[in-house]
Amino acid sequence: MANDASTSPGETRGADFIRQIVNDDRSSGRWQGQVVTRFPPEPNGYLHLGHAYASLLSYGIARENAGRFNLRFDDTNPSREEQEYVDAIRADLRWLGLDWEGREFYASDYFEQLYAWAEALVRAGKAFVCGLTAEELRSYRGTLTEPGRNSPDRDRSPDENLALLRGMRAGDHAPGSLTLRARIDMAAPNLNLRDPVMYRILDATHHRTGDAWHIYPSYDWAHGQSDAIEGVTHSLCSLEFEDHRPLYDWFVEALGIHHPRQIEFARFNLSHAVMSKRKVRRLVDEGHVSGWDDPRMLTLAGMRRRGYTPEAIAAFCADVGVSKRDKVIELARLEHFQRQHLNAIASRRMAVLDPLRVVITNWPSGQVDHLPAVNNPEAPEAGSREVPFTGELWIERDDFMEDPPRKFFRLAPGREVRLRYAFFITCDEVVKDADGRVVELRCRYDPATRGGDAPDGRKVKATLHWVSAAEALRAEVRLYDRLFVSEQPEEGGADFLDGLNPDSLELRPNAWLEPALADARPGDPIQFERLGYFAVDPESRPEALRFNRVVGLRDGWSRGKGQPD
């Protein structure tokens, strides 16, 4: 997690531009050196990798500066927000490792205060009730190049406005019939300043306040004031709110309340993926994925299910850095950090995904040997386990070729290879079925090579993973790959769904696992040797084991295969 020592107060070199600002503010004594940040998700969907980045950034900056970090649900639009999402967001953030120390707030906590402030602005002549319809409002707003026009209601008296506003609150007016607008400048080049809407009348039940309110604050009216109430010092948000900062500042100034500093950063896109809420929702709604937690999704729920670890996500987010330029991060980068973390902690196990039978012809009938196998070569303290070896085994079908090309050095007729942790075997005979398909290999083992070394010093070119047939556990293994073949599915005119990867999920329903995998639980970091990192799916049951591939091992063999040599 972020514990960047290079960002102590006054120190700016090496720090990103936001941390430099925070450091400068601390050393200049602004806000008495306090640092308070917040993460303000709207509970209208599931969190994804981009939210992880944003939340970790605000959380990290608070921690590095011995400050506070608040979680605040931005629940100002009851028509699309639900408790289900609040619960999911909370769970995701906890899983990520964020600790808001009980400071879990809601914009709706502040509805009463916001309303009182609205009346104050009305009294001060800085807000008015407007009777323009939505369509009229749009036309009065002007365009990017032409100024807007004042609302006919703009100069209504404060008393009348107050009466109307109270009526709005009381439910005396139909949804859409009136709005409360800030009285700023209809000729402002920044459209956000053209008398923006503060309150709209909504006929909806709020997930927390129920039917207590008929009016709901807009984002602009709620956000800065919520920050102010919480004493937020540095309010971090993404670039599209840069245009809103003058309005953010205008409101807190007009109210004369605590004035947080809004700082905007660029979010990122991941290659071969979509991040926008709208598109992610469409994947779910149209059934292109199994749900919000489909392991192919970059939702935190999906990534958790897939087997991604919060540590890897945090390392990835820290590495992406903070800037204001558009960025598309290569998926390989995420995978790198995931491999790096799992390599250090994953238990090595053997699993055969696409099995080919091997009979050891000279193995003493009925005998079972138990061979010690290292759990994690990167962590000797993880110890070892024993794997059973018998005369009938499964190996990976890919690990045998009847007529191998030059650089294939796994098993082939007449060739000797090592079975990991076990013995050298030599392939004597290939058994085929009526269709010519290889169904069994008959091999001879060398008893002197027990453990995997030949006393005579002879070498083999390959080491294969294997599982003893009698003791093996059957499982379904799911191989996940990028959801999109196109690098940037969101770009270009074509429908982003055209870029869907038809092979993003490959089932291996007949996999065989070594017995030690019987008690693996969801969340346990596991490497299937030579294949990749895998995780137990939450829906896995003892009688129907199910594993998900998090990410494959780097594979120099298959990478080089397509290249001319």
Partner RNA sequence: UGGGGGUUAGUCUAACGGUUAGGACAGCGGACUUUGAAUCCGCCGGUCUGGGUUCGAAUCCCAGACCCCCAGCCA
Name the active-site residue from 103, 141, 149, 277: 277
Site for RNA in 312-371 (CB under 7 A): 319-330, 332-333, 336, 339-340, 343, 348
CA 190 to chain centroid, in Å, comes to: 34
Q: Where are the beta strands (DSSP E) in 332-383?
A: 347-349, 351-352, 355-360, 369-374
What is the number of residues in the chain?
Answer: 565
Residue in 11, 42, 82, 490 annotated catalytic: 42
What token pair was written down for 393?
Answer: 């085994």
Cβ of residue 74: shortest distance to RNA, in angstroms? 4
Site for RNA contains 523 (CB under 7 A): no
Restricting to residues 87-126, which ones interact with RNA according to CB under 7 A?
Answer: none
Q: Are 193 and 250 in contact (CB under 8 A)?
A: yes
Is 42 tagged catalytic? yes
Q: Identify the residue among 28, 83, 133, 157 touching RNA (CB under 7 A).
A: 133
The dihedral over CA atoms of 17, 22, 25, 28, expressed in degrees to the nearest 10, equals: -90
Give the one residue of 201, 358, 425, 520 binding RNA; rule: CB under 7 A.
201
Among 80, 370, 432, 474, binds RNA (CB under 7 A): 80
Q: Is 26 in the site for RNA (CB under 7 A)?
A: no
Span interacting with RNA, options 91-99, 140-148, 156-164, 434-442, rule CB under 7 A: 140-148
Q: Restricting to residues 44-73, which ones interact with RNA according to CB under 7 A?
A: none
What's the token pair of residue 42? 């709207």
- Which residue, 62 or 168, has its beta carbon nearer to RNA? 168
Binders in 473-512 for RNA, by CB under 7 A: none
Torsion angle of the four alpha carbons 248, 249, 251, 256, in this order, in degrees rounded to the nearest 10: 140
Phi, psi of 318 (to 5 degrees): -65, -35
Of 267, 348, 420, 478, the active-site residue reads 267
- Is residue 560 a contact residue for RNA (CB under 7 A)? yes
One symbol per residue from 435 to 464: x for binding RNA (CB under 7 A), - otherwise; what is it?
Answer: ----------------xxx-----x--xx-
Joined together, the tokens standing for residue 472 give 């093996």
Structure tokens at 498: 């055209």
- Out of 25, 31, 37, 40, the only residue in the binding site for RNA (CB under 7 A) is 40
563 DSSP assignment:
S
Sequential DSSP letters for 491-537: SSSS-GGGGB-TTSEEEEEEEEE-GGGGG--TT--EEETTTEEEEE-
- Is 294 or 395 the residue whose CB approaches RNA more closely? 395
In sign, the C-alpha dihedral spanning 292, 295, 297, 298 is positive
Task: In angstroms, give the least distance from the CB of 290 to RNA.
Answer: 26
Give the residue ranges of DSSP H helices in 272-381.
277-285, 300-306, 310-320, 331-345
Active site (catalytic) residues: 42, 267, 277
